[in-house]
Each structure stands twice: as C-alpha cells, then as structure tokens.
Amino acid sequence: MKFRKLTASLLSVALSGTAAISAVLPAASMAVHAEETSSTDMSQYGTNLALNKTATASSIEASSVAASNAVDGDTTSHSSRWGSNVGNGPDWIYIDLAKPSTVKAVRVFWESYKATSYKIQYATENPGAEASWKDVKVFNARPTALTEVIPFDTPVNARYIRLYIGSHTSHDPQNTVDDWNTVSIFELEVYGEIDANYQDPNENVALNKTELPIRQKQQILLQQRHSTVIHQVPAGVLLRQTDRTGFMSIWAKKWTYRLSVFTGKHVKPITILFLLQLVNIQLKNLLVKMSGPSSMPTMAVQQS
C-alpha cells in the first residue's frame, strides 16, 4: 500500500512538472520572434509606411470594422479595428504601400489572443494572386502580446505587406474578449523606407505644379525646335556647330535664336547667314558689339 501511495505521489509530481514545463515552453518559444512595443524604439526600423494607405481584407464582419480601420493610426479604440467575418478562416489583411519600399519590421495591435497560427508575407506585384506572396515570418503559436513587434531577419523590398492568419479559436485563453468565432486587429504598422527613385508610371507628375510663364514656354519650345540645341544650362543654351562652315554659320545660328526669342517666330538660319555674307567685316564688328550684356538669354557655343 505504501509503495502504491509513493508511486502515485511520484507520478503526480512528474505529471505536474510536465504540465508546468509544457505551460512555460510555448511562451518561451513564442517570445523569440516578437517583443512588446513598450521596450522597442520603432524609429530604428524607419517610418510607418502603412499609415492611411489602402488596406484590403479577405472578409469583414460588418462595415464598421472595415480593413481601412487598420491603417488609420488609432491603435486602441474598439470602434477602429478590422474584424474578419464569422468563420474558421483563414483570414488576412494586406496593405498597399503605394510605392516599392524597403521593409524592416511590422507591428501588430491585436484585439485578442485568438490567433493560433499566422505569418507576415510580402509581394512586389499582383497581390490578388496567391503565388505572388512570399513568407517573411511564420508563427505556429498565439501572439506573445497584444502589441507585437515583429522585426525581419533581413529587410525585404516590397510594395504589399500581408498579415495572414491561418487559424484562430473562438475562445481567447486570456479572456480579453468574449467568445466569438472571428479574429480582429486594431492596427497593422509597416516600418521601413520608400524607394526614393521610384516613379509611378500612372502618377500625374504635373498635378499641382506651377505653370511656366508664356514667354518662358515659348523659349523652351523654340529651343526644342532648333536643331542645334543639345543642352540647356543656367548660363544659357549650348549650341553645336553641325555644318562646319565656320564662324559665320555659328553666329547665324546664335542670332537666329536671339531673333526668334525677340519676335516670337522661328527664323531659318539660312536667312541670317545670307545677310551676314552680304556685308563686310564692319557689320561683323557691329554684331560683336551688339552681343554684349543684354536682357536676352546668354548663348554659349560648343564645337562638336
């Protein structure tokens, strides 16, 4: 009898010890991949690129918990959250960052601990195709905290970032919310830097820009029409001698430009060249004097 009692006691201790270990290990393993926001300076990862961007979700429980609530900057209000439709999932929400970006970390503001498996994914194009998504971080456990920072092992170049929740339970083991078969987050933040050299082909770059004065637009148009203009610099316009007929032809092109700007009409170089060839060196000296400081644009000549 004593032997049985001793065996039972040892077995009870062993089982309780195993339970205690099993209760500790999941928390320890989960703590490896994320940390609470209170101890994390998010500026080390860049800026929040997701703020007020376009968010798309697999489903919503109601219009009041739309995907856009997850990028509005409100991380605490119960009325400002994304909530999935009732069901077992999987459920997901992704953010269009608008431009290709270098992403280094995300921060998830969970409503509860219901999620039992989830992952962070990224895509560079075509977010509607599952094949476009690549995994960055994969977790097969519940979140370690309601505010969870997930730094990437290696930064990724992405335009779209997705939180994919593979499974969840109706019950929250921490009892933060009532039992209900949905999953919800207050906010999804994405940290990194936008590619400064990217130009969206669909973006209207002229929108809200200042229109050039009419005279300046006429000058630019004349420069574009003139076959000898190769580059514009602050000091003037650079011309290239294309016909190699010497000094007179270069001066003809120079004065053609000046006369065109002055009159607002394009004058063929041959017209001025013909006039210059009719006069003697005295006219040339006169032209040299006239080409001194003036209000007209300064001309520089480059020999090709």
157: left (phi over 0), alpha (psi -120 to 50) or beta: beta
pLDDT along the chain (304 residues), means of 10: 43 42 35 54 96 98 97 95 96 97 98 98 97 98 97 97 98 96 98 81 72 65 53 41 43 51 53 57 61 49 44
What does pTM read for this prediction? 0.58
Looking at residue 36, its pLDDT comes to 55
Q: Return d(Cα 47, Cα 30) in angstroms, integer.
A: 26
- Residues 47 and 102: their CA atoms lie apart, in Å, by 11
230 vs 118: CA distance, rounded Å:
58
Give the pLDDT confidence score for residue 211 in this predicted structure. 67
Q: What is the pLDDT of residue 147?
A: 97
DSSP state of 208: T
**pLDDT on residue 209:** 74
User: Residue 40: which region, alpha, beta or left (left: phi > 0; alpha: psi -120 to 50)?
Assistant: beta
Report the pLDDT value the prediction gives residue 270, as an integer from 0 to 100.
54
Q: CB–CB of 202/111 below 8 Å?
A: no
For the chain, how far is it from start to end, CA to CA, in angstroms? Answer: 112
